[in-house]
Structure formats: structure tokens, C-alpha cells
């Protein structure tokens, strides 16, 4: 079974690969962001299954899913995430994802899910989709305005100030000011650190 695992966290990639290495018949390729995953698909597709981290650089949310499905010639593409909400999972499945895998899945369940999706079935943990979502506001989010959260999401997705400005219909100089404020509020030295803080805190 030919797999492509794309995630910007090396530990996550290594952990998933270690799980799968114990199983017979897996040929695993990896990528650290969406552009690298896209390049591999252009060279080596179709893969029996592509796993994409929802929050890695270049994904731009579910836009990456749509592109990957095309690049993989319609073969299964699934989303993995440690932070995405139930609403995102449901939207991904409705958009044609082969499945949605929380990073908290046990190893045996992960292997089963991968085989299931590669066989053409759609997978998502029932408990994840039926649990009531937390309505509490994240402590970090309480510090930020709605616009600052939108800019921070752009940073977490690896977008440039110009891309964020275009997406939010703002001037680039306005985005720069928001980034400066975000760094102060999050006690981050730069935009990259602000994005890391947001991702590690599970904001996106």
C-alpha cells in the first residue's frame, strides 16, 4: 500500500511511520508541508492514500484537500488534525475527504482506519463527531479581537502578510500592525513564534 503522510511536525510524522512500519505491505512517503506534498503527488501519484495535516503550512484549510484530490487522481485523501473542530471534520467529509483522523487515535485504530480508507471507504471516529463541543473560549483567544484571530489564523497557515491582507480585504500595512500587536499580546518574538504559540495552544 502506497501512502503519503504530510505533517509539519516531525514527531507526528515519525510516530505515524513507526506505527505503520510494524504492519506488512506499507510503502510510506512523507512531506513537511503542503507544497512538498503537492510536489510528491505530481511526481509519484496516485497514492493509495494521502494523509494531510489540516494546519500545516500551505494547506489553507480545506483548499489543500481539494487540490490534493485532483493531484492524487481522485484516489483517497484524508485529513489528520490535533486541533480541528467537529465542524471542520464534518465539512472535510462533506467535501470528499476519505476520512478525518484526530491525532489522539490509538495506533491500532489508526492502522485500521488507513486500511479502511485506502479500500475506498470513508472513516471518522463516531465519538469525535457526536461529542458535544466545548463552548468555553480559549484563554488565549480571550486576549484577542476577532480581526486579530483572523490574522493569527493566517499566520498559523503559513500565509504572508500580503496573502492575509488579500484574504481579509485589508491593507498590508494594517496586517503588519495586527501582527505587531499579536506578537506583543502573545509574548512572541516574531510572527513565526506567534504562529507556533497558536498552534501549540490548539487555537487552530
Asked if residue 20 and residue 109 are part of one domain, the reply reads yes
Number of residues assigned to the chain: 204
What is the CATH classification number for the domain harbouring 58? 3.40.50.2300
pLDDT of residue 37: 97
Do 194 and 186 touch, CB atoms closer than 8 A? Answer: yes
Q: How many CB atoms lie within 10 A of CB 106?
A: 9
Asked if residue 152 and residue 105 are part of one domain, the reply reads no
Asked if residue 165 and residue 115 are part of one domain, the reply reads no
Mark residue 74 as left, alpha or beta (left: phi above 0; alpha: psi -120 to 50; beta: remaining). left
Domain that holds residue 79: 2-130
The structural domain count of the chain equals 2
Spatial CB neighbours of 161, under 8 Å, sequence gap ≥ 6: 172, 175, 176, 179
- Given 130, 165, 181, the domain boundary residue is 130
**Cis ω for the linkage preceding 46 (within 30 of 0):** yes
What is the chain's pLDDT, residue by residue, as a tens digit (204 residues)? 999 999 998 888 888 888 888 888 899 999 999 999 999 999 999 999 999 999 899 998 889 999 999 999 999 999 998 877 888 889 999 999 999 998 888 888 888 899 999 999 999 887 776 655 444 456 777 788 889 999 999 998 889 999 999 999 999 999 999 999 999 998 899 999 998 888 877 776
Look at residue 122 and give its three-state secondary structure. coil
CA distance 190 to 204: 18
Amino acid at each position: 500500500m502506497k501512502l503519503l503522510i504530510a505533517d509539519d511536525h516531525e514527531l507526528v510524522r515519525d510516530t505515524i511511520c513507526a506505527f505503520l512500519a510494524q504492519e506488512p505491505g506499507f510503502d510510506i512517503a512523507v512531506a513537511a508541508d503542503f507544497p512538498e506534498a503537492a510536489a510528491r503527488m505530481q511526481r509519484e501519484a496516485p497514492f493509495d492514500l494521502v494523509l494531510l495535516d489540516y494546519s500545516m503550512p500551505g494547506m489553507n484549510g480545506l483548499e489543500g484537500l481539494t487540490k490534493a484530490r485532483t493531484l492524487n487522481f481522485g484516489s483517497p485523501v484524508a485529513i489528520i488534525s490535533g486541533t480541528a473542530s467537529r465542524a471542520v471534520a464534518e465539512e472535510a467529509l462533506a467535501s470528499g475527504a476519505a476520512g478525518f483522523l484526530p491525532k489522539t487515535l490509538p495506533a491500532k485504530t489508526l492502522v485500521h482506519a488507513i486500511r479502511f480508507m485506502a479500500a475506498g471507504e470513508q472513516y471518522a471516529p463516531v465519538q469525535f463527531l457526536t461529542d458535544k463541543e466545548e463552548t468555553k473560549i480559549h484563554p488565549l483567544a480571550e486576549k484577542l479581537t476577532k480581526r486579530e484571530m483572523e490574522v493569527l489564523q493566517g499566520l498559523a497557515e503559513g500565509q504572508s502578510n500580503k496573502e492575509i491582507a488579500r484574504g481579509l480585504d485589508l491593507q498590508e500595512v494594517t496586517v503588519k500592525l495586527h501582527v505587531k500587536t499579536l506578537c506583543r499580546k502573545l509574548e512572541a518574538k516574531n510572527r513565526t513564534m506567534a504562529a507556533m504559540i497558536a498552534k501549540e495552544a490548539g487555537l487552530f
